[in-house]
Amino acid sequence: MINYVTAGESHGPQLTGILTGIPAGLTLDIAAINAGLAARQGGFGRGNRQQIEHDTVTVTGGLRHGVTLGSPIALTIQNRDHAHWHAIMNPTSPATADNTLRQVTRPRPGHADLVGGMKYGHRDLRNVLERSSARETAMRVAIGQICKQLLAQLGIDLVGYVQQIGQIQVDSQASLSVAELTQAIAQNDLRITDNAQVADIHDLITATKKAGDTLGGVIRVVATNVPAGLGSYTNWDTKLDGQLAAAVMGVNAMKGVEIGDGFAAAASYGSQVMDEIDWDAENGWSRLTNHLGGFEGGMTNGMPIIIKAAMKPIPTLYKPLQSVDIQTKAIQKASVERSDTTAIVPASIVVESVVAIELARAITATFDGSKLSRLQAMVQAYRAELQAY
C-alpha cells in the first residue's frame, strides 16, 4: 500500500521524500514530474521567491534505468535559495552570533508560528515556519505526480484547477473530460477554464496586491474512470471520502472540503440531489447525474470523483496584522516573510496531487501493488466483474 513522508525546511538544503508502495515496473516520466513542480511555481499572483527556485526532482532510490523497483522511492528537491541561507539554516554548525540572525519573534496570525513555538519550545519562530511553510508542498506534488502516472496506467485520469479566486467564480466546465480540462487550463496563468475571465481576475489580484491584501479561492479536482468499490461503508475509518477529506484539509491553508455538491446539497431537496441508477448491456451500470461526486456509502461509485477545497487567503500581509513579540510581550506588527498575493493557482496542483496519492493508495490497498502488470490485470478483472454484476 502506498504511503509517504517528507522532510526538509524551506530554506534548508533540500526537501526529501520517501514514497513506499509504488509497484515495480512503472516507467517514471521525470519530465512530467518536473512539469508538475513548475506548475506549482507558476501562476499569476506569486511573489519573488519562485523566480529563485526552479524545482526539479532527483531520484536516489527505488528507481533503476527509469523504472521503479518496488522498493521505496527516495526523492530530493534542492532549495536553490539555501545558498543565501547557508549559515543561518545550517543543519550542523553550532549556533553563533553570526548565524542566528533573522530571528522571528513576532508570530504571524494565520500561520503555525505561535502555536508551533509553544508546542516545540522554540524562541526563534523561524524554527517553526521553515517547516510549516508551503514550500513542503513541492515534495507532495512530486509524489502526487508519480501517483498520477500510476493511475494513468490503470486508466484513471485526474486534474485539479481553480474555480474561484476571491469572490470571482469561474465556470467549472463540468461536462469536459479530464484531458479537455487539462488543455483548457493550460491556456492561461490561472489554471481556470475560461480565458474570458482572466483579465478580470488579473485586475483583482493586482488591485489586492496594491492594497497590501491577499486572496484565497476554491479548487476543484476531477478524477475519472475510478472503479466502483474503493473504500468501504463497513467502518468509520474505511470510508474513502473521509480519507480524501483528510488529505485535502491537510494541505496548507485549506479550510473546507466538499464532495460533489457539498454544502449546496444541504440546501436542496432529496429529489434534487440523488443520482438515479441506470444500466445498459454494453456499458453496465451508471448514474443519470453526479450530485454526489462519485461517492456513496464512503465508496467510489464509478462516477467521476468531484472534490472541492476552500483555501483561505495567504496570511502574510504587507499591511501586517497585530501580533505580540514573544520575548518582550509588546504588541507589535507581525513579521512579514513572503509575498504572494494569492497561492490558489499553485495550490490547485497540490490538491490534485494529494488526491492522486489517496486514490493510488486506495487502489494499492485493495489489489496487489507489488508489480504493475499484475496490478493492471487484477484491476481489469475487477472492472469486468463489476460490469457483469
Which residue positions form the known binding site for NADP(+)? 40, 46
Phi, psi dihedral angles at 89 (to 5 degrees) = -105, 25
Spatial distance between the Cα atoms of 10 and 135, rounded to a whole number of angstroms: 6
In angstroms, give the least distance from the CB of 52 to a copy of itself.
19
Comparing CB distances to a copy of itself, the nearer of 188 and 316 is: 316
Judged on CB neighbours under 10 Å (0-12, 13-18, 19+), 138 is buried
Please say which residue, 133 or 180, places its beta carbon nearer to a copy of itself: 133
CB of 250 to a copy of itself, least distance (A): 4
Question: Three cell numbers at 360?
Answer: 493510488
Q: C-alpha distances in angstroms, 238 versus 218, 234, 243, 282?
A: 27, 7, 8, 31
The residue (of 127 and 193) whose beta carbon lies closer to a copy of itself is: 127
Annotated binding site: 40, 46, 131-133, 252-253, 297, 312-316, 338
Compute and round to an integer the Cα radius of gyration of the chain.
22
Q: Are 126 and 2 in contact (CB under 8 A)?
A: no
| Joined grid coordinates for residue 1 | 500500500
Q: How far apart are CA 11 and CA 8, in angstroms?
A: 8
Q: Could you tell me if 225 and 283 are in contact, meaning their C-beta atoms sit under 8 angstroms apart? A: no
CA distance linking residue 98 with residue 273, whole number of Å: 62
To a copy of itself, the closest distance from the beta carbon of 62 in angstroms equals 6
Cβ proximity to a copy of itself: between 180 and 235 the closer is 235
Min dist. Cβ of residue 179 to a copy of itself (A):
26
Q: How far is the CB of 184 from a copy of itself (least distance, A)?
A: 21
* Sequence letter at residue 176: L
The Cα 168–Cα 319 span in angstroms is 23
Q: How far is the CB of 180 from a copy of itself (least distance, A)?
A: 25
In contact, 247 and 361? CB cutoff 8 Å: no
C-alpha span between 276 and 43 (Å, rounded): 39
- Are 14 and 78 a contacting pair, CB within 8 Å? yes
Residue closer to a copy of itself by CB (options 39, 205) is 205
- Residues tagged in the binding site annotation for FMN: 131-133, 252-253, 297, 312-316, 338
Report the nearest approach of a copy of itself to the CB of residue 183 (Å).
Answer: 26
C-alpha cell at 276: 438515479
Considering beta carbons, is residue 179 or 212 the nearer one to a copy of itself? 212
Identity of the residue, 180 or 368, whose beta carbon is nearer to a copy of itself in the bound complex: 368
